């Protein structure tokens, strides 16, 4: 028996070796054919690249946006072409050498070029497949920015001063003879708020309204990017309003890409500035002055903030009136002071506030700032928490009008030990969010672009820096000023606890002379792309520093004196692609946060294992990271958050990732590996609060965004081996979001990879060519034998697929014909919020009436490029059932309670939204986009109730008497009347 087994094993080994040898010999005999094949494929890729580039140019000329990933595909195509042509030239030169030396039977050379050519052909073919979707379309219709949703609205009730000014501004913008309107007034008087209200009033007159913050110094390239789409629309003759906010100096419009003047009457400019001279220099005909509020109106605004008690309490009213008088009629100051005093019940606190406001503590500053300082400092002083005050000062260290990331504030707070007895990094984040919330409620901070960011009004920032210069937090802030050099005088930095030089163009730090910055605790110099070296002299000058941010510079090596920074707690070196050796960091024993992401490191050296206090370690998107010294990860026993991409070159080496399972404090893991066999097995994922697992040939930066999910799996691979499918399934069991990219050997994902009990909330699928449907109930029985997941009795009758999904995103699925291949009663989309289906050319059926009636939470529906789809809602499965399912017969009406936005784009066969004759109610619908759907004649044959519809963009030629113009006509005519054509 043993001999038979041994013989069998030997036979298998011999067969395996023979197959491999045969394959290697094949590279030699087919070398010429392989090279010619490569030559042919690179020519095909060149042609495809040119076609895609032509479509990109056309899209940009039309003012449309580009599909995510198309520019990246073109850049990668260029890289493939370049390296292939270099290889072909090298192969040709090798043949010449071979001929000249009469050594044409150089088998090693033939093998090398034959094998390389084969591998490159596969890469080129794959890239052509990835780009196939872009040959059809590369653009997306560009919506108008949601300015009214992003910015505050002005309540002018009982504020006649602002009401009158508002009417003047609106009148000027509506005046066809006026192209540029200027608003001017002192800081904090409400210019920006008025500008946003004007936009709300006149939005219906323009095809596009955009809001650009100019600030200082002027960033020409940023403004060009902000106005790019608007400029293209203007050149096409469409009416566009561009709001240029916070201008400090004259701006040549043609220098920033804004077509304006006699040749472009469709362009309107509304600008705000503190100086009338700037408005005049910009050719604003009659600049409109925004004056401070008179006492009566200031009192009205103040009462809105603090409440009516200041009116009913006679004694308090006397002091409150004096407080209001001291605020100079500035809405910003009135709101800040009002928020500070709102909850003060002690009358003495009001008297104390009045004394502070009456004092002139800033005689060395300009008149305007003297008006603002004491009032804003009052609000700062009333902040009860030192943590909140510290976050406020940290915000002032960012550039003017900057989107301040809350995550970065948390890192700095941890490094500066702002949070005492900190339990975890998550607690630090919560404390930052709480502090920002308090500062916003005090009007000391503003909302950012989303909940992850905040902003600081420029007036508040000026005062914050002045406050910082007068207390223990003396900071030097030269952020965002385009400095090319920084050479402080000896002795000039000794009093500073913080220095911010971020977002400049500094080439080097001081060297060659001794500096002393004994009190420095935080040094921020990120995004100085030319900075390549840190001098030993400068490092030695800041020995007490606790936070350093060197992100996105060009640093290639670390100074030897870095090990002297024994108090350093937070260090960010991310984005320095030239940085290779980080061994010296092992001496910084106090480090709690270390960021090495997007650097050039190829290994995590043994020395990093000495950093036993680390809470956070990021080493993601380091393209060459292929080695982690054994024992490093397991040594970081206090690690809470780990982000790493690991791509070992040699197979069979020790997999250091297995040590992750030993990190008992770990709560967040972001891990990228090239193959699932590298992923460390174990139950540790179940104890993590958040994780993102990416299994892909190479780590991709930012393309697979499912940030709304806490527990994510990203799978980007051509084929899933059946031997690993069980492991994938176990991963999905603990996920709430999956992203599958280019997986070729799946025809469904449910229940093959997932069943209803796992509770996925987000599903995103891209370029899975063989996928026929998401749900295929026919394979349930087969799945029972392959993976007997627990089910209730009568599993088919009880399963409800997709029941927890709130985001469904399907893109470039060339084989997809239906979303589910089963009766409707197996499907539940009750929790679906966002549905985006793009470029699925064979999709014939989407929602049935039964399913549509269950879309009670749907808010956004986007369908692009589904060229076989004839209707969005079809009659579908109308059968009724009894028993446990408790099916409901479709009612006459369909209601979408929360649906706010519908986008239908580039669908050649779409004839209607719903072909039936019934009432459809859309109580929340605000925007509808119907573009490049030339066969669409009917929205539906019944009644469509859209009480809150505000905006319709319609580029389809419609037939006379169609229900499209009956349903949306008044909106189309209001916005885009010229686009409607009746044959």
* DSSP of 319-336: HHHHHHHTTTT-HHHHHH
In the chain, the largest separation of any two C-alpha atoms, in whole Å, equals 110
Mean pLDDT of the region 552-562:
95
- Report strand pairing: 737-741 vs 873-874: unpaired
Nearest CA to 660 out of 626, 687, 695 is that of: 687
Count of beta carbons in the 10 Å neighbourhood of residue 206: 21
Can you tell me the distance from the alpha carbon of 27 to that of 117, in angstroms, rounded to the nearest whole number?
9
Can you tell me the distance from the alpha carbon of 244 to that of 247, in angstroms, rounded to the nearest whole number?
7
The tens digit of pLDDT for each residue in 301-311 reads 998 888 888 88
Q: Choose between 136 and 293: higher pLDDT.
A: 293
Can you tell me the distance from the alpha carbon of 244 to that of 210, in angstroms, rounded to the nearest whole number?
9
Nearest CA to 381 out of 248, 498, 471, 477 is that of: 471
Check residue 796 and give its pLDDT.
44
Check residue 55 and give its pLDDT.
78
Architecture of domain 147-289: 3-Layer(aba) Sandwich (3.40)
The set of residues, in sequence order, having a beta carbon less than 8 Å from that of 585 and lying 6+ positions away, is 558, 562, 571, 591, 594, 607, 608, 611
Check residue 756 and give its pLDDT.
54
Which residues are registered as beta bridge partners of 183? 272, 288
Confidence band for 236, pLDDT divided at 50, 70 and 90: confident
Can you tell me the distance from the alpha carbon of 284 to that of 270, in angstroms, rounded to the nearest whole number?
9
The 3 state secondary structure assigned to 195-245 is: HHHHHHHHHHHCCEEEEEECCCCCCHHHHHHHHHHHHHHHHCCCCEEEEEE
Lowest mean pLDDT among 97-111, 176-190, 272-286, 426-440: 97-111
Query: Does residue 754 register a pLDDT over 80?
Result: no
Lowest mean pLDDT among 257-271, 459-473, 557-571: 459-473
The three-state secondary structure class of 499 is strand
Query: Does residue 886 register a pLDDT over 80?
Result: no
Confidence band for 825, pLDDT divided at 50, 70 and 90: confident
The tens digit of pLDDT for each residue in 580-603 reads 999 999 999 999 999 999 999 999
Mean pLDDT of the region 343-351:
84
Q: Choose between 862 and 130: higher pLDDT.
A: 862
Question: How many residues belong to the chain?
Answer: 983
Can you tell me the distance from the alpha carbon of 418 to that of 391, in angstroms, rounded to the nearest whole number?
9
The set of residues, in sequence order, having a beta carbon less than 8 Å from that of 924 and lying 6+ positions away, is 859, 896, 897, 898, 899, 900, 948
The three-state secondary structure class of 76 is helix
Share above pLDDT 90 across residues of the chain, in percent, rounded to a whole number: 37
Check residue 538 and give its pLDDT.
93
Query: Does residue 970 register a pLDDT over 80?
Result: no
Confidence band for 332, pLDDT divided at 50, 70 and 90: confident
Can you tell me the distance from the alpha carbon of 405 to that of 452, in angstroms, rounded to the nearest whole number?
6
Query: Does residue 973 register a pLDDT over 70?
Result: no
Mean pLDDT of the chain: 82
Q: Choose between 379 and 395: higher pLDDT.
A: 395
Check residue 311 and give its pLDDT.
87
Which residues are registered as beta bridge partners of 713? 693, 738
Q: Choose between 58 and 23: higher pLDDT.
A: 58
Q: Is 270 exposed, middle or buried (0-12, 13-18, 19+ CB in 10 A)?
A: buried
Check residue 609 and give its pLDDT.
96
Share above pLDDT 70 across residues of the chain, in percent, rounded to a whole number: 81
Check residue 180 and give its pLDDT.
93
Enumerate the CATH 3.40.50.300 domain ranges in the chain, comma separated: 147-289
Can you tell me the distance from the alpha carbon of 390 to that of 400, in angstroms, rounded to the nearest whole number?
18
Instruction: Using alpha carbons only, give the angle 914, 919, 921 rounded to the nearest 5 degrees.
Output: 95
The tens digit of pLDDT for each residue in 604-615 reads 999 999 999 999
Mean pLDDT of the region 225-247:
88
The tens digit of pLDDT for each residue in 132-171 reads 767 666 666 554 443 334 344 456 667 888 889 999 999 9
Can you tell me the distance from the alpha carbon of 192 to that of 190, in angstroms, rounded to the nearest whole number?
6
**Distances 239 to 59, 166, 948 between C-alpha atoms, Å:** 19, 21, 24
Q: What is the residue whose two structure tokens read 């070296």?
A: 533
The tens digit of pLDDT for each residue in 475-515 reads 999 999 999 999 999 889 999 999 999 999 999 998 877 88
Token pair listed for 737: 């979001």
Nearest CA to 891 out of 858, 859, 850, 856 is that of: 850
Confidence band for 99, pLDDT divided at 50, 70 and 90: very low
End-to-end Cα separation, the chain, in angstroms: 87
The tens digit of pLDDT for each residue in 627-679 reads 999 999 999 999 999 999 988 877 667 889 999 999 999 999 999 998 888 88
The three-state secondary structure class of 428 is helix
Residue burial 181-198, b: 16+ Cβ < 10 Å; e: rest: bbbbbbbbbbbbbbbbbb
Q: Choose between 952 and 425: higher pLDDT.
A: 425
Q: Calculate the CA dihedral of residues 828, 831, 836, 839 and round it to 10 degrees.
A: -10
Query: Does residue 182 register a pLDDT over 50?
Result: yes
Mean pLDDT of the region 335-353:
85
Token pair listed for 53: 């580039």
Mean pLDDT of the region 217-225:
87
Which residues are registered as beta bridge partners of 595? 572, 618
Check residue 715 and give its pLDDT.
86
Query: What stretch of H or E contains 731?
Result: helix 722-733
Mean pLDDT of the region 847-864:
94
Query: Does residue 281 register a pLDDT over 80?
Result: yes
Lowest mean pLDDT among 350-364, 406-420, 944-958: 350-364
Q: Check: CB of residue 429 under 8 Å from CB of residue 590.
A: no
């Amino acid at each position: 028996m043993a001999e038979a087994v041994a013989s069998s094993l030997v036979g298998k080994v011999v067969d395996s070796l023979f197959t491999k040898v045969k394959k290697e010999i094949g590279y030699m005999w087919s070398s010429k054919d392989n090279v010619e094949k490569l030559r042919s494929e690179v020519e095909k890729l060149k042609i495809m690249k040119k076609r895609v580039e032509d479509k990109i140019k056309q899209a940009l000329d039309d003012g449309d946006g580009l599909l995510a990933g198309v520019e990246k595909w073109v850049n990668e195509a260029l890289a493939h072409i370049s390296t292939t042509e270099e290889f072909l030239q090298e192969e040709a030169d090798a043949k010449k050498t071979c001929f000249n030396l009469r050594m044409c039977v150089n088998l090693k050379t033939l093998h090398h070029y034959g094998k390389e050519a084969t591998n490159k052909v596969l890469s080129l073919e794959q890239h052509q497949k990835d780009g196939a979707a872009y040959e059809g379309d590369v653009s997306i219709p560009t919506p108008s920015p949601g300015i009214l949703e992003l910015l505050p609205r002005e309540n002018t009730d009982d504020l006649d001063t602002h009401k009158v000014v508002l009417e003047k501004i609106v009148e000027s913008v509506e005046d066809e003879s006026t192209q540029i309107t200027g608003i001017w007034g002192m800081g904090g008087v409400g210019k920006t708020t008025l500008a946003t209200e004007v936009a709300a009033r006149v939005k219906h007159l323009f095809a596009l309204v955009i809001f650009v913050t100019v600030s200082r110094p002027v960033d020409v390239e940023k403004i060009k990017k902000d106005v790019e789409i608007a400029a293209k629309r203007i050149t096409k003759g469409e009416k566009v309003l561009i709001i240029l906010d916070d201008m400090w100096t004259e701006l040549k419009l043609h220098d920033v890409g804004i077509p304006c003047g006699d040749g472009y009457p469709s362009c309107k400019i509304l600008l705000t500035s503190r100086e009338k001279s700037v408005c005049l220099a910009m050719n604003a005909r009659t600049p409109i002055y925004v004056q401070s509020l008179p006492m009566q109106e200031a009192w009205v605004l103040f009462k809105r903030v603090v409440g009516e008690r200041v009116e009913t309490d006679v004694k308090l009213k006397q002091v409150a009136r004096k407080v209001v008088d001291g605020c100079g009629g500035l809405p910003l100051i009135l709101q800040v002071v009002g928020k500070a005093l709102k909850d003060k019940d002690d009358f003495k606190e009001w008297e104390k506030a009045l004394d502070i406001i009456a004092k002139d503590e800033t005689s060395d500053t300009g008149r305007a700032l003297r008006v603002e300082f004491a009032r804003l400092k009052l609000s700062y002083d009333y902040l009860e928490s030192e943590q909140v005050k510290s976050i406020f000062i940290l915000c002032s260290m960012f550039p003017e009008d900057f989107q301040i990331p809350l995550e970065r504030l948390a890192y700095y707070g941890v490094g500066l030990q702002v949070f005492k007895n900190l339990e975890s990094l998550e607690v630090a984040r919560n404390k930052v969010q709480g502090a920002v919330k308090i500062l916003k409620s005090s009007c000391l901070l503003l909302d950012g672009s989303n909940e992850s960011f905040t902003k600081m009004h420029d007036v508040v920032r000026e005062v914050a820096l002045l406050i910082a210069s007068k207390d223990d937090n003396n900071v030097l802030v030269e952020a965002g000023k385009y400095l090319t050099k920084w050479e402080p005088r000896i002795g000039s930095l000794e009093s500073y606890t913080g220095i911010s030089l971020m977002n400049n163009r500094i080439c080097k730090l001081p060297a060659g002379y001794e500096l002393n910055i004994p009190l420095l605790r935080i040094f921020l110099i990120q995004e100085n792309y030319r900075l390549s070296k840190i001098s030993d002299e400068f490092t030695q000058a800041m020995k007490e520093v606790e936070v350093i941010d060197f992100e996105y510079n060009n640093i290639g090596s670390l100074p030897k004196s870095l090990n002297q920074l024994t108090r350093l707690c937070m260090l960010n070196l991310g984005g320095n692609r030239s940085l290779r050796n980080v061994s010296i960091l092992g001496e910084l024993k106090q480090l709690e946060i270390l960021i090495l992401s997007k650097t050039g490191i190829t290994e995590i050296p043994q020395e990093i294992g000495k950093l036993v206090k680390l809470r956070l370690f990021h080493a993601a998107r380091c393209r060459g990271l292929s080695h982690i010294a054994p024992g490093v990860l397991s040594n970081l026993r206090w690690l809470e958050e780990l982000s790493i991409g690991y791509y070992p070159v040699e197979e069979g080496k020790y997999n250091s990732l297995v040590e992750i399972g030993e990190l008992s404090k770990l709560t967040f893991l972001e891990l990228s590996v090239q193959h699932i066999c590298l992923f460390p097995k174990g139950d540790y994922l179940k104890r993590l609060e958040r994780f993102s697992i990416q299994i892909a040939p190479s780590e991709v930066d930012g393309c697979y965004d499912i940030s709304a999910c806490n527990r994510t799996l990203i799978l980007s691979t051509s084929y899933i081996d059946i031997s690993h499918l069980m492991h994938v399934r176990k991963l999905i069991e603990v996920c709430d979001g999956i992203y599958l990219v280019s997986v070729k050997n799946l025809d469904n994902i449910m229940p093959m990879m997932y069943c209803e009990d796992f509770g996925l909330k987000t599903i995103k699928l891209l370029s899975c060519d063989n996928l026929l449907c998401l749900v295929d109930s026919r394979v349930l029985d087969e799945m029972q034998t392959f993976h007997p997941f627990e089910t209730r009795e009568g599993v088919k009758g009880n399963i409800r697929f997709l029941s927890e999904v709130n985001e469904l995103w399907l893109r470039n699925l060339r084989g997809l014909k239906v979303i589910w291949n089963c009766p409707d009663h197996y499907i539940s989309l009750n929790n679906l919020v966002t549905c985006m289906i793009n470029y699925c050319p064979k999709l014939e059926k989407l929602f049935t009436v039964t399913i549509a009636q269950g879309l009670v939470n749907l808010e956004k529906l986007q369908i692009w490029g589904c060229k076989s789809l004839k209707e969005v809602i079809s009659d579908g499965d109308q059968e009724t059932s009894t028993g446990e399912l408790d099916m409901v017969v479709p009612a006459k009406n369909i209601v979408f309670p929360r649906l706010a936005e519908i986008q239908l784009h580039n669908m050649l066969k779409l004839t209607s939204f719903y072909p039936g004759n019934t009432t459809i109610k859309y109580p929340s619908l605000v925007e509808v986009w119907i573009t490049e759907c030339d066969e669409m004649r009917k929205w539906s044959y019944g009644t469509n109730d859209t009480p809150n519809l505000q905006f319709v963009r319609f580029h389809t030629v419609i037939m006379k008497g169609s229900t499209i113009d009956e349903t949306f006509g008044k909106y189309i005519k209001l916005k885009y009347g010229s686009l409607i054509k009746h044959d």
